[in-house]
Chains A and B, each alone.
Chain A
Amino acid sequence: MAILTQDEARTLLQKVLAFSKADECQAQISGREGGNIRYARNAVSTSGQLSSTQLVVTSSFGKKQGISTINEYDDASLAKVVRRSEDLARLAPENPEYMPFVGPQSYQPAATTFIPATANINSKLRADLTEQSLKIAKEAKVTAAGFLENTAGFSAMLNSHGLFAYNTATDVNFSVTLRTDDGTGSGYASRGYNDVSLLDVQKSTQVAAWKAAKSVEAKAIEPGKYTVILEPAAGIVLMENLYGALDARSADEGRSFLSLPGGKTRLGEKLVDEQVTIYSDPWHEKLPTRNYDGEGLPQIKRTWIEKGVVKNLFYSRYWAQKKGVQPIPYPDGFVMSGGNLSLEDMIKGTEKGILVTRLWYIRSVDPQTLLYTGLTRDGTFYIENGQIKFPIKNFRFNESPIIMLNNLEQLGYPERTISGESNSAALIPPMKIRDFTFTSLSDAV
């Protein structure tokens, strides 16, 4: 029963609420079916399949709240889980920041986030796709390590104020790293979609194979400030630390890069280059997401940064009430606008610069300036006179996405990419940036 229909979910949740004696009660159920395959050393390694569900019941008495869960669905189990959450609520300390549950909402019709073909992926298809990738690796005489994962899931919620929401979604993610057998060259590619028919495992593997072969005999160049072209898979890991930190409360409290002296914030101010526009849109054709958030608030199309100016920050329901504004939920997907140029066009238009395939091990160095460190990985090349000239050794960088987006030269055509750090998806353009700060060399390939 891992995936319930809307009617099945509503019926079950109504049954749960019927057991409630609390001031407020909310029941959420979710389930997923998923499978994955890993390969390395040009052969399959581990592979598995998972099926699971979960019912979460939250009960409140005044400002006291308790949460409990179960994954059995007979009447006695449902009664038990409700009673447990009520017992816990009675024991819990009062939370002065407690917010009552959200009442009934009207949502705009949901985008198509569930694709049957993706939900139907089985172990045979996973093995077939892996076989295609391995064939390319073997022909190119390089060694492949890769990962393919598919999931199909649903979630639904119902509360004692009558709010009901339901959605289903599918996902398939693929990534591959090809290395030359002597370990001196490495190339990477990754892709993720709701719809498996868009996934071209062979094309991604070919890109990675090309980079692996071309990155052999990398030259060491001096650390310093360079013009870089960040491919979307490299850009996303810095961008997610910018748009993920657009939080009103920490800005208002003075402990964010958005804070200004005297309790002011950068909301409404120009933060980065005017080429930068970042928005979220649950109905985006390439990145469709849920039309409500985890508390049941509607998700709508919303601009966060427009032409470099901070337009919106996330407001939790508590903070919004305190500040007298509407709550703004955190969206499930971000889109960064760009131009029409392809990555190839951008390379052609670059006199001197560095092409970065991927950035790795990204960690906050200073939250005050949003300074991050990390390294280049799996395909770093020197560009001269519009051409990729030679591979270079990997660098460590210390850079802030704020500084980086003030040194923005050009944006290319945005594409859906997956963060190698958080595994989340976004639409990010290739970015050409001047004076990107590399602070040391790494021997890693």
Chain B
Amino acid sequence: MLDVRGLRVALPDGRVLIDNIDLRIAPGEVVVLLGGSGAGKSTFARVLFEREELDDAGFDVVAATLDLDRAQLGLVPQRGALFDHLDVRGNLELALRQGDSKDDPATWLERVGLERELAEAGTPVTKLSGGQAQRVAVARVLASRRKLLFLDEPSVGLDPHRVRVLARLIREQVKALGVSAIVVTHDVALAAGVADRLFLLSLENRKLEQLFADRWPGALEEAGHSAEERGRWLVELEAALVDHLDKHGDKPPPQGTPKPRGVLTKLARVADPLLAPFRVAAIAAVKAPVQLVKNPRDFAIIARRVIVQTLLRPLPFYAIVSTLIGYTVLFVVSKVGGAGVRPDALLRQIGGSHVIALAPALSALLFVAASGSATNAWLGSMGLTKQTLALDALGVDRRSYLWAPAWLSLALSFFAVAALFALGMILGGMLVCESYGITNAWDLLTGDILDPRPERLRYAVRAAFLVWIYAWGIASDVVAKGGGPKPEADAVTRGMTSSVVACTLWVVAWELVTVLAVFRL
């Protein structure tokens, strides 16, 4: 199922996290990787699931052999990483679709010892206990018919009883479905309960050492092992682990030679955050229509979530700000003439030109700051809680499932926000016009948008173009920044801030370019 030989992983600065390890897993076998914090357990998981991200992040990943069928590799992340935009049933249905299975999701809940009622529509995953969430996560990956399961710290947060229950569950399913499993943990009880073989990721030399190779009796939660035997092995295993950590727990990774990188590679790494939105734009533009046709329900679920975040929730904000701006601009204009100048004549001259000049840029900047940040945070939190990794592990293409509908929904949402913003500015302007006795204020303020005079048509076209390019530019940047790697919580806020800055630059650049183009032509 998995054949890794000579795997070496080093940080960009040359420090070695994993050094020349070999691991081969046979069908139906459960292998446990033990190790202390920083021993490289998560790095090993990223080699299997996020190889591209590691490369992009500058890690040096080398393997003589890495024989792995990604389509057969399933993941149970820490704390389950259930998709919180779906209910329990939705999580399982998504996995079942990936496994081309028509099974009832409730059957899979029963299989992992959960009540069938949890499969009823509308049961949110956030109401599950830690143990329940972990079991649903196991059920989810099993339902996807993956043949090699990777369980990353599956016992985190579970009490000793539930740890044992989980261990038995894993053994049962491995046996029942004929799958293999890699369990990464530092939980001695779980390790002893499920392992056919035990390995230690050594902090001493960063190699993989098999523990008790000659005398390990096999998974202790299997039938045939007495409580006494189990207790003895737990003590022995814990002693071995503690002894190792006591000796090498504070040892930093050995310093190796950093991989030499060319100028172009360095430049590419620096430019990647800048280029990522362009990449997202191209990918999303291709995948969105395909996803919409092939998986309309999945598309609708993501689109609905994004539209709620970006349009419906901040709607009062946009309404208030746009009306205020529309009122203030025309109020100031009406006063600039001074004595002897009729304010209504000034307002008639201005018409709706201030709306088409200001609405695209202002709505874009506010949209980035409010709506864009909301979706950015949502996408970022999905990465931070490994939900995106779980998607990958189910064989769900995150670009199709998540990015494309989010991208399109963001763009459509911005169209709506820009239109609402213009409407708000018009309504605010109407208040000023009414105060000066202008009876056709609505026609006057919408004239430059709906029926511009020839010399103003270019400005209306510019506004429409700006709304168009801001829509997909902002959508691309938000998805790129939000969908990027999120190794820690600060990466989420960093993504939000950098997206606001990048989108502001995008807006400013297009404002200047189009102004120059319009006035030079």
Query: A and B bound?
Result: no
